[in-house]
Amino acid sequence: MFVELFIDGLSVGSIYALVSVGLVLVFQSTRALNFSHGDFMMISTFVAYALVVQFGVPFLFAIPVVLGFSALLGVVVERFVIRRLMSGSMPAIIMATLGIGYMLQGTASTIWTDDIFAFPRLFPGRFVNIAGVRVTPQSIGVVVTTILVMATLHLFLTRTKLGTGFRALTQNRTAAALMGVPITRMYALAWAIGGVLAAIAGVLLAPTLFLSTGMSEITFTAIMCAIIGGFGKIYGAIIGGYLVGIFSSILPLYIPSDLQAIIPFVLLMVVLFIRPTGILGVKTIKKV
| Domains delineated in the chain | 2-274 (1.10.3470)
Q: How far apart are CA 22 and CA 4, in angstroms?
A: 28
Q: Residues 6 or more apart from 247 whose CB is under 8 A from it?
A: 9, 263, 264, 267
Q: How far apart are CA 37 and CA 41, in angstroms?
A: 7
What single-letter DSSP state applies at residue 211?
B
Q: Torsion over CA of 63, 15, 279 and 189, rounded to 10 degrees? A: 20
- What separation in angstroms does the CA of 90 have from each of 27, 79, 87, 94? 11, 17, 9, 6
What's the pLDDT score for residue 283?
66
Phi-psi category of residue 31: left, alpha or beta, with phi > 0 → left and psi -120 to 50 → alpha:
left
What's the one-letter identity of residue 207? P
Side-chain-side CA neighbours of 219 within 13 Å: the count stands at: 21
- In sign, the C-alpha dihedral spanning 150, 154, 160, 166 is positive
What's the pLDDT score for residue 284?
55
SS3 of residue 130 by DSSP: strand
What's the pLDDT score for residue 131?
66
Containing 128, the helix (H) or strand (E) segment is strand 128-130
SS3 of residue 117 by DSSP: strand
What's the pLDDT score for residue 137?
87
The one-digit pLDDT tens for each residue of the chain (288 residues) are 778 888 889 999 999 999 999 999 999 888 889 999 999 999 999 999 999 999 999 998 999 999 999 999 999 999 999 998 988 888 899 999 999 999 999 999 999 998 999 998 888 777 777 767 778 888 889 999 999 999 999 999 999 999 998 998 888 888 888 888 899 999 999 999 999 999 999 999 998 888 999 888 899 999 999 999 998 889 999 999 999 999 999 888 888 777 778 889 999 999 999 999 899 887 654 444
